[in-house]
Chain A
Amino acid sequence: MEKALINKNEGSNWRELKNKLFFGLVIVLSGITIMPILLIVYKLLSKGLRQINLDFFFKVAPDTLQAMSAVQSGEIIPGGIANGITGTLLMVAVASLIAIPVSILIGIFLYENPGKKYASLIRNLTDILQGVPSVVLGLIAYFWIVKGVTNGFSALAGSVALSIMMLPLIIRSTEETMKMIPVSIKEAGAALGVPYHRIIFKIMIPSGFSGLMTGILLSISRVLGETAPLMLTTLGNRAINFNITKPTSAVPLQIWEFYNNPNMIDLVWSSSLFLVGFVLTLNIIAKRISTKYS
């Protein structure tokens, strides 16, 4: 009897030790996981912050000569990325206008028909679409829009490529959001004789508003930094442009241009800092919405 007790104690000591070891391992590994993001933010701040002033947001990029003379005299590079910021906002807005209504309706269709063959085909195709490399989507938009519609590089072509990227993200998040709403809410509507489309638009979508918003914001932050599809579709523009049929700049495109110009390396850092800050802000807003309204 006594021996059995001792054995039991030994076992529990070993278990406690294992527990502590595992706990320590988890702490160390999670520390390693967050290191990259901290290092990225640190590097961007230390290299890019000095370029950021009002001109950075309201002026277009300087030409090489201006940048060269500024760098030689040790000043910060004049001008900013206003053409990129406006271009990015324009293209993301148009992409959202295309992607959001379509994908919310498809998401609701998938939720309403869980077992149907056609719906599961759509679901699988959506998953495949999510895996298509963005440069390929750029290529497709090039052939559809640049060659077929606008007869030249255009913001519209860029928006179409981005909207195709947004589709699978919003479709899946819509379907998941709808699944979270209790069926009893939908039944309450049906029991009042409310027609089907009104149940969807007046009950289901408002009830899932925070989930839908979160999915939309995350999909926007996903496409904000896309570079490859934009290179093939909207090319870039030195001036601020709001005409969707004309070539337009975007922040990630500018980062690529600055990178290829030895005199503008400083702007690479500040533009990247801006882009990362923008994406992080959207992510934080999405988190806030989903915790506040759920």
Chain B
Amino acid sequence: MSDKILQITNPVLSISNLSIAYGKKDKLAVKDVSADVKRNNITAIMGPSGCGKSTLLRAINRMHELYPNIHTEGEIKLNGETIYEMSTSKLRRKIGMVFQRPNPFPTMSIYENVIAGYDLNGSKLKKNEKDEIVETSLHDVGLFEEVKDSLNKKGNFLSGGQQQRLCIARALAFKPEVILMDEPTSALDPLSTAKIEDLLVELKVHYSIILVTHNMSQAARISDNAMFMYLGELVEYDKTKTMFTNPKDPRTEGYLTGKFG
């Protein structure tokens, strides 16, 4: 492998030769990407719009299969297990996802939102087991004190940042191994953004986080490793500090210094 791609031992995820095409097979959104993701780290995926970073992220929990006419080649392994051989419901329990805009279920209360992953999958939990999951998940995202008196109300009175933390709590309820985040702060104000960033740094003790971001300074602030993608290619993957101070590829340097993107 080239020296532009970071080597990792005992990775939580390993992506090998992944190519994804929408529609016609020659139009690749992700081109032959190989990379390993380090456990209990924040890995940022950066790049200009349309570079394939969201598609790559969605391939990790197979959400990209929801789009019509999708062709996927290559392999992704979660702890050595090929994800394309697992059922999606099992896979998505192990790999949670948080979206660009907060998307709590509008018809459910805060409590029901956090436990939704269990309820909607038809698991039969006792009331006290549910209570415990809801409480710990909300504690983990630092929302419990703020909402403990209104758990049975709908979440629409929460601020955008609180709603996003609720969505993170919903993903944490399954105790996943990996959390995928697709620009989780792009719809939030700076204060809420700072809170979410602090939260991610706390969460990486227990979870491995993959963060797609448009925001270079965010990647610099909180990520341990960073990938730079351009036109579907993984151009460079390195420790964040190394990449920001000493990029190896001229395209990475151009993006980081603001020449394009």
Contacts and interface: CB of A to CB of B under 8 A. Distances in A.
A206 interface: yes
Contacts of A190: 63, 66, 92
Contact of B89 (A194, A202, A207): A194
Interface string B78-109: 00000000001111110011011101111100
Contacts of B105: 185, 188-189, 203, 207
The range of chain A's interface size is: 20 to 34
B117 interface: yes
Interface residues of B, number: 29
A138 B217 CA distance: 69
Interface string B108-124: 00000000110011100
Interface string B59-91: 001010010100000000000000000001111
Contacts of A195: 89, 121
Given A190-B63, A191-B92, A192-B170, A198 B121 contact: yes
A193 B121 contact: yes
B167 interface: yes
B51 to A, nearest CB: 21
Interface string A59-95: 0000000000000000000000000000000000000
B96 A191 contact: yes
Contacts, number: 68
A210 to B, nearest CB: 10
A107 B1 CA distance: 51
Contacts of B92: 190-193
A209 B108 CA distance: 13
Nearest to B65: A190
A182 interface: yes
A188 B121 contact: no
Contacts of B89: 193-195
A193 B91 contact: yes
B170 A182 contact: no
Contact of B106 (A185, A187, A192): A185
A185 B170 contact: no
Contacts of B103: 182, 184-185, 187-188
Given A187-B66, A190-B66, A198 B97 contact: no
Nearest to B87: A193
A201 to B, nearest CB: 10
B66 A203 contact: no
B107 A188 contact: no
A191 B106 contact: no
A16 to B, nearest CB: 42
B257 to A, nearest CB: 34
20 contacts: A182-B103, A184-B100, A188-B170, A189-B116, A191-B63, A191-B92, A191-B96, A192-B96, A192-B116, A192-B121, A192-B171, A193-B90, A193-B121, A194-B89, A194-B117, A194-B120, A199-B120, A203-B120, A207-B105, A207-B106
Interface of B: 61, 63, 66, 68, 88-93, 96-97, 99-101, 103-107, 116-117, 120-122, 167, 170-171, 174
Given A184-B99, A192-B170, 8 more contacts: A184-B103, A187-B99, A187-B103, A193-B89, A194-B117, A194-B120, A199-B120, A207-B106
